[in-house]
Amino acid sequence: MRIVALAGGIGGARFLRGLKAAVAPGDEITVIGNTGDDIHLYGLKVCPDLDTVMYTLGGGIHEEQGWGRTDETWSIKAEMKEYGIGPEWFGLGDRDFATHLVRSQMLTAGYTLSQVTEALCVRWKPGVRLLPMSDDRVETHVRITDEAGTRAIHFQEYWVRLHAAVDAEAIVPVGADTAKPAPGVLDAIAAADVILFPPSNPVVSIGTILAVPGIRAAVASAAAPVVGLSPIIGGAPVRGMADKVLTAVGVETTAEAVARHYGSDLIDGWLVDSADAAAVEAVEAAGITCRAIPLLMTDVEATAAMARAALELAEQVRR
């Protein structure tokens, strides 16, 4: 079976680890990774969501953080600080720097982000095909107003430096409107037997992937059933600050509202947590088949059970 998953960062990567444990030998998983979180620092291109998937599935992730490398040291960052070069708020470790150096060196040599990602995965062997959503530069920015006035800041500054403490007035995936899907992305969607939306951030992760012209239409018109898993449990995001960006796009922070946000033209099935069983009826009224099951990714086995439930629901809603 050919499975395609649109994945963001930490939640998406953790789900994929369970999906790998749940599928049968011979099943192929293609991950279309969000690159809107990308940031250029020190002349290097950092791809947080691609790296989180690669490290998590490749066994190099810092498990508690969900980003960056395990057994990390911070000598380069400390030396940069001595030179007065920031930003201090974004933690790039020495091991992680190697990834960005290899990526940036290859990009400078003329390779595409897809080719770079494929090369990095030769080392990490994530066990999935990891495609960036686009080889073109897309960087999510957030419009905020604070004592310094109204301005757009990079998503990472909003997320990491400000901890999303100020309201997001708008979320803008800069460059998405002129970006093209990376090679293989539309083909993978068209050839998929199942398409999954993991419990990633619906706005800045899956929403950004869908903002690349052609991708939303490809998913909506795909022969494969599309099943999503709610990143919101009991009216709150499981991790991260998805509520802040959901509000920015006028979506309530509930499992039902996120399903409606995707819409029945895009998703056929939706899994909500047992705590949100009351939402099943309303989601089904929106034309999306819905099931309530435990959605907390407490360990690989729990996540594998979620993945199996998503694959089963996909068979029930197959078009």
Nearer to ligand FO1, 37 or 139 (CB): 37
Nearer to ligand FO1, 44 or 152 (CB): 44
Shortest reach from residue 190's CB to ligand FO1, in Å: 27
Nearer to ligand FO1, 56 or 254 (CB): 56
Q: How many CB atoms lie within 10 A of CB 125?
A: 11
Name beta bridge partners: 181: 134
Give me the helix-helix angle, 113-124 and 48-58, nearest 10°: 20
Shortest reach from residue 153's CB to ligand FO1, in Å: 13
The DSSP-derived string for 264-281 is TTT-SEEEEEGGGGGGHH
Query: Whose CB is nearest to ligand FO1?
Result: 9
Nearer to ligand FO1, 205 or 289 (CB): 205
Shortest reach from residue 210's CB to ligand FO1, in Å: 16
Q: Where are the beta strands (DSSP E) in 38-101?
A: 39-41, 44-46
> Is the Cβ–Cβ distance between 21 and 179 less than 8 Å?
no
Q: How far apart are CA 282 and CA 308, in angstroms?
A: 24
Shortest reach from residue 208's CB to ligand FO1, in Å: 11
Q: How many CB atoms lie within 10 A of CB 69?
A: 19
Shortest reach from residue 176's CB to ligand FO1, in Å: 16
Structure tokens at 30: 């293609």
Q: Which of 208, 319, 309, 192 is nearest to 267 (CA)?
A: 319
Nearer to ligand FO1, 200 or 253 (CB): 200
Name the site residues for ligand FO1 (rule: CB under 6 A). 8-10, 37, 46, 48-49, 51, 67-68, 90-92, 96, 156, 159-160
Shortest reach from residue 44's CB to ligand FO1, in Å: 11
Nearer to ligand FO1, 201 or 230 (CB): 201
Nearer to ligand FO1, 90 or 111 (CB): 90
User: Helices (H), strands (E): how many in the chain?
Assistant: 13, 14
Shortest reach from residue 46's CB to ligand FO1, in Å: 6
Q: How far apart are CA 109 and CA 189, in angstroms?
A: 30
The DSSP call for residue 61 is B
